[in-house]
Homo-oligomer: A and B are copies of this chain.
Amino acid sequence: MKKKDKIPGPTISRLPIYFRCLTEMKNNNISVVSSDELATMAGVKASQFRKDMSYFGEFGIQGLGYPVVHLMERITTIMQLDKVHKVALAGIGNLGLALAKYNGFSKWNFQIHYLYDSDPGIIGTVINDIVVDDIDKIPEKLDVSIGILTVPREFAQEAADKLINSGVKLLLNFTATFLNVPSDVVVRNVDLTHELAILTYHLESKQAE
């Protein structure tokens, strides 16, 4: 297996997609899958899938393919999906509220444990059995793997700093801002407007052809 930091980001981003494909195959009692079949389902080229797998020392069996359950277990280990990861969410606006109520996270062992806001009208309210706490009272050491930022963009850096000061090293950032973080903190930016823009690129493509 290659050293982790040599594995390209896009390969890592595709692992959850492969995992979801494999889960569907397992549910359909498929035990072995060809790279062609899995790649088609995942929306990538078969050569891309095989290259992605090779980073983790996974090679298909010639003429047969990849064993579904084995590959699921490998990806589970690689992405640490076999452990429960606690999550803290800062910013109980519309999106924060939706994520706090979202039941999809727990299927992959992600559990939102803490909710934070700065609005006195929101602090103290209860969402899914979790009391919203004051973001200024985050404990010195927060026992979570991941922080989710859904605060308004003007408070993004401040809220990120507070989570980082409490030891959070991984941030999922929905605030549509660039965060300044120490080198040992990993930020993943999700901008839903960007997703729409990527789609309209294809619209132009179709009209031009």
Which residues of A are at the interface with B, using a C-beta cutoff of 8 A?
A: 4-5, 10, 12-13, 15-17, 19-21, 24, 41, 78-81, 85, 87, 93-95, 97-99, 101-102, 104-105, 107-108, 110, 145-146, 169-172, 176, 178, 184, 186, 188-206, 208-209
Contacts and interface: CB of A to CB of B under 8 A. Distances in A.
A192 B12 contact: no
Nearest to A87: B196
A85 B192 contact: no
Contacts of A184: 206
A146 B199 contact: yes
A4 B24 CA distance: 32
Contacts of A201: 12, 15, 78-80
B97 A196 contact: no
